[in-house]
Amino acid sequence: MAVDTWFAMHQSDREGILRFYGWKPYCISIGYHQDMKILDLEKVHRAASDIVRRPTGGRAIYHAEELTYSIILPKSVIGHRELYLFIHRILANALRQLGYMVELKSVGAPMSVLRQMASDYACFTSSAYSEIQYMGRKVVGSAQKIYKKTNLQHGSVIIGKAHLNLADFLLAGSAERICIEKELREKTISLSEIREGNILPQTIMQAIITQIKAVQNISVYSKKLTTDEIRLATKCIVN
């Protein structure tokens, strides 16, 4: 995520960047303005999980059995609302290509099943401009950060059910944890629940790239991060 931040702050006006990554070990990300005190740090440590602060806002996410994506595009190319719809159309088409019959839904108002206290915790339960859903449950969670010259969007394609364990790491009462887990189960669904059988993150990545290549006037090429890019990105880490 530090790499995302660095690229968003230094990207040229001509090109966009699409990145994919996973998490080893699993990791809790908290929103840019969220208080670290919501986490039970001892439990996180015992589970050998990491903690990171995202450049985007929102609430906590447990990054586990998922494919994380990020896309950075110049503002001169696309606005942030249009970016959200564009990339969600790409993701939805890619998942349908793989046999997951998801739908792209417009959402007019945030979902608010959780009480006010519990709603401070789980980011997957909140809604945005458009959502990728299966039978009314979210398959992809995304967020944005608007920089001076670029728009950054990143998100999680939920492959397995491990994200439901978020409540185990929160400093919340038992009633609140039950409420949070219930909300996550009711509002999200993993690819493993939609269709039996395992799917590799690399398979999803390739389907997404195929969909992007199908868009007129877009060309895609791949490159690895350089040592210098990684070094510079560490300066963007938010404490």
Residue 123 contacts residue 56 (beta carbons within 8 Å): no
Query: Rounded to the nearest 5 degrees, what angle is found at the Cα of 71, between the Cα atoms of 142 and 76?
Result: 115
| Distance of alpha carbon 236 from alpha carbon 8, whole angstroms | 11
Residues contacting residue 75 through CB under 8 Å, at least 6 positions apart: 146, 149, 150, 151
Return the SS3 of 147: coil
Alpha helices in the chain (DSSP H): 2-10, 41-46, 80-97, 174-187, 191-194, 201-213, 227-233
Q: Is 179 a catalytic residue?
A: no
Residues marked as catalytic: 123
